[in-house]
Amino acid sequence: KAGVTQTPRYLIKTRGQQVTLSCSPISGHRSVSWYQQTPGQGLQFLFEYFSETQRNKGNFPGRFSGRQFSNSRSEMNVSTLELGDSALYLCASSVQGASNEKLFFGSGTQLSVL
Amino acid sequence: AQSVTQLGSHVSVSEGALVLLRCNYSSSVPPYLFWYVQYPNQGLQLLLKYTTGATLVKGINGFEAEFKKSETSFHLTKPSAHMSDAAEYFCAVRITTNAGKSTFGDGTTLTVKP
């Protein structure tokens, strides 16, 4: 079974641009969550999608958005990029997103904003 | 609401020595607790989890953790460190009233000296 796949692996953008990151969960997993990882803030929850619906959202500005498609693949978008958005963005999937389920993580997308 | 505190951002042990990584949590409802490991340039992978039942949980690679409700702790241990254990370790908490969201500690970097 293929693992969680995130593309692209690396991205370099400039301030003011927008970016779209993609995540393909493990087959059969319907929950996809996104996390931002930085040296200063650690792992911060962005949002979680289940069956194409956003079920939960972290404390990030509206520039951060996401969506989930009928095949459970998910995308997140960041508009009007700021230098502080430079981070490793991790996607994780699970079957139902239940609280007792483990998360399967992708290798992440490393975003650098110049 | 839930939160996690990992005591010690860096822990260094000699090969063959005991590994002890500390995690304390705060939760308004009974929590589910997880330990994840992250190797350089990779996503996180689950070491072990506590949901219900036995409070001593065994995981992969010889790690185990004990849930102590009275101390609100979930410390990770391994009797004998191996060079391959060098990585960053994250403690995480999830609760049923906050669907889809995991709250992570700031991480502990484990160094293993030969």
Instruction: Tell me if B49 and A107 make a contact (CB, 8 A cut-off).
Output: no
Would you tell me which residues 24-53 of chain A have a C-beta closer than 8 angstroms to some C-beta of chain B? 31, 33, 35, 42-43, 45, 48, 50
Q: Which residue has the higher pLDDT, A99 or A65?
A: A65
Nearest CA in chain A to B46: A102
Give every residue of chain B whose pLDDT is below 50, as ranges. none
Radius of gyration of chain A (CA): 13
Q: What mean pLDDT comes out for the span A30-39?
A: 96
List, for residues B5-31, the tens digit of each pLDDT value: 999 999 999 999 999 999 999 998 889
**Amino acid A73: pLDDT:** 98
Instruction: Tell me if A31 and B49 make a contact (CB, 8 A cut-off).
Output: no
Contacts of B101 in chain A (CB under 8 A): 33, 45, 48, 56, 58
**Amino acid A6: pLDDT:** 97
Q: Which of B109, B107, B99, B108 is nearest to B2 (CA)?
A: B99
Confidence of residue A2 (pLDDT cuts 50, 70, 90): confident
For residue B55, give both structure tokens. Answer: 């409070």
Query: For residues B6 and B97, is the Cβ–Cβ distance under 8 A?
Result: no
Q: What is the full DSSP assignment across B15-84?
A: TTS-EEEEEEEEESS--EEEEEEE-TTS-EEEEEEE-SS-SEEE-GGG-EEEEEGGGTEEEEEESS--GG
Instruction: Tell me if A43 and B107 make a contact (CB, 8 A cut-off).
Output: yes
List, for residues A52-98, the tens digit of each pLDDT value: 999 999 999 999 999 999 999 999 999 999 999 999 999 999 999 88
Residue A20's Cβ-count burial label (10 Å; 0-12, 13-18, 19+) is: middle
Q: Which is it for strands A87-94 and A109-113: parallel, antiparallel or unpaired?
A: antiparallel
Output the furthest CA–CA distance in chain A (Å, rounded): 39
Strand partners, B13: B112
For residue B96, give both structure tokens. Answer: 């049923």
> What does residue B61 show for φ and ψ, rounded to 5 degrees?
60, 25
Contacts of B45 in chain A (CB under 8 A): 105
What letter represents residue A106's amino acid?
A: G
Question: Any idea which of A10-14, A38-42, B14-18 has the lowest mean pLDDT?
Answer: A38-42
Site of tokens 């951060």 = A64
